[in-house]
Amino acid sequence: MTQEIPFEKAIEKLEKIVADLESGEVSLEEALKKYEEGVKLSQVCQDRLSQAEKKIEILSRGLDGSLIRKDFDGEEDLPAEETGRKSAVRKTRSVRSDEEEGLL
């Protein structure tokens, strides 16, 4: 049953379970049931995200078969192995601009 649920509905139910558990207004027995359901929903969501990631990776392959990642800030396409370095540079730029604005 849980595997059939759409991703968005699973997230919605998981958020409700978390809210119920955080409220502290459920009995121990009910909390255990909700926790068990939450674990199952969490696994469904993780599986769906993994499948989506694999599909996106397949669709993002360049003509030579190497994985291409596109930054969403309009910067050029980069091979996957260079994206980590670029993101560190972007974070440094972001910190600098925050400092310049007196935010840090």
CA 53 to mean position of chain CA atoms: 10
Are 34 and 21 in contact by the 8 Å Cβ rule? The answer is: yes
Write down the pLDDT at residue 56: 86
Query: pLDDT-derived band of residue 103, with 50, 70 and 90 as boundaries?
Result: very low
CATH 3.40.710.10 applies to domain 2-59: no
Q: Each residue of 43-98: pLDDT tens digit?
A: 999 999 999 998 888 887 776 777 666 665 655 454 545 445 444 444 444 444 44
